[in-house]
Every structure is written in C-alpha cells, then in structure tokens.
C-alpha cells in the first residue's frame, strides 16, 4: 500500500514529462495507491487558477474517489499526530519547523500512513526524516519502477 505525497504532485502538475510519468505510474499501480485528503487540500490550495484546479480534480482526485480510495484523517490520526508533535517539540530544535502549516500537514500525512500501514512516496525527505525521529514511518524518495527520472 502506497500513498503519494504532495511533493510529487506539485512538480507533476508543472513539469509535463514528470507529470506523464507519474500519471502512468498511478494508472498502473492504482490498486495499491491511496490518496490522502491532506494531499488533496494542499494541491487544491496551490492551484494557480480554477482551470488548474479542475485539471487536478480530473487527473488525480476522480480516480481515487470513484474507487473509494481516499483517506481522511480521523480522531485517532489526529491523536497520533499530536503525540508525535509533542515529542518533537520537547527536543527544542524544531520550533521554527513546527510553526509551519505545511509541516503540520506532513505530520497528518505521516500519521495516516502509520495508522494504515502504508509506505509514503515523497520528494520531501527532509521533513519526513524529522517526523520519523518521533513516529515510526516508512517512506521512500522515488517512485517505484523508475517513474521519476
């Protein structure tokens, strides 16, 4: 089971060659992929206009919605996130990182993966390496089968 991070979808929407490769990977692997509502939120917020948002909806969200493969953080996911954030806050070196809204979203994505037993595929190794210090997390930094060059 895999969950793709926002850090892959943003470049896929802006770099046509990578976007095609990621779309093909997603098409081939859809049975083992899930989509986080947090990723949907981040990419939708980042859309430059309504047309971009509609393209995003057709390409990414619809295939997961029609297969009921979306993951929405529930109460237990928020509790896992809160506990891990508390542990990280006690280390004192991460105050500025913890203040970022995007890092909160990364925590929710990580907690969703943790709770579901999913492996996160991300280009954002820095944040997830920090999170992995306080929460068991499996993540990889490249799309399997060479979809990202």
CATH number of 2-143: 3.40.50.1010
pLDDT tops 70 at residue 99: no
Largest CA distance in the chain: 44
Q: How high is the mean pLDDT of the chain?
A: 85
User: What does the block give as tokens for 20?
Assistant: 């095609």
Which of 50-54, 60-64, 144-148 shows the lowest per-residue confidence on average (mean pLDDT)? 144-148
pLDDT at position 148: 41
To the nearest 10 degrees (0 to 180), the angle between helices 37-46 and 6-14 is 40
Full DSSP string of 31-92: GGEEEEHHHHHHHHHH-SSHHHHHHHIIIIIHHHHHTT-EE---HHHHHHHHHHHHHHHTTS
pLDDT at position 113: 95
pTM of the predicted model as reported, rounded to 2 decimal places: 0.84
Which of 17-31, 47-61, 79-93, 98-112 shows the lowest per-residue confidence on average (mean pLDDT)? 47-61
- Could you state, in order of their start, the residue ranges of all structural domains in the chain? 2-143
Range picked from 2-16, 49-63, 114-128 for highest mean pLDDT: 114-128
């Amino acid at each position: 089971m895999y969950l793709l991070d926002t850090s892959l979808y943003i470049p896929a929407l802006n770099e046509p060659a990578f976007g095609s490769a990621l779309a093909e990977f997603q098409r081939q692997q859809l049975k083992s992929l899930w989509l986080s509502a947090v990723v949907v939120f981040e990419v939708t917020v980042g859309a430059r206009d309504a047309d971009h948002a509609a393209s995003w909806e057709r390409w990414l969200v619809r295939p997961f919605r029609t297969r009921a493969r979306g993951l929405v953080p529930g109460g237990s996911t928020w509790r896992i996130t809160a506990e891990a954030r508390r542990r990280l806050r006690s280390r004192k070196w991460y105050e500025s990182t913890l203040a970022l809204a995007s890092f909160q979203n990364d925590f929710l994505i990580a907690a969703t993966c943790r709770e579901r037993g999913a492996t996160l595929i991300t280009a954002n190794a820095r944040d997830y390496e920090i999170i992995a210090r306080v929460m068991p997390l499996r993540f990889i930094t490249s799309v399997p089968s060479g979809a990202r060059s």
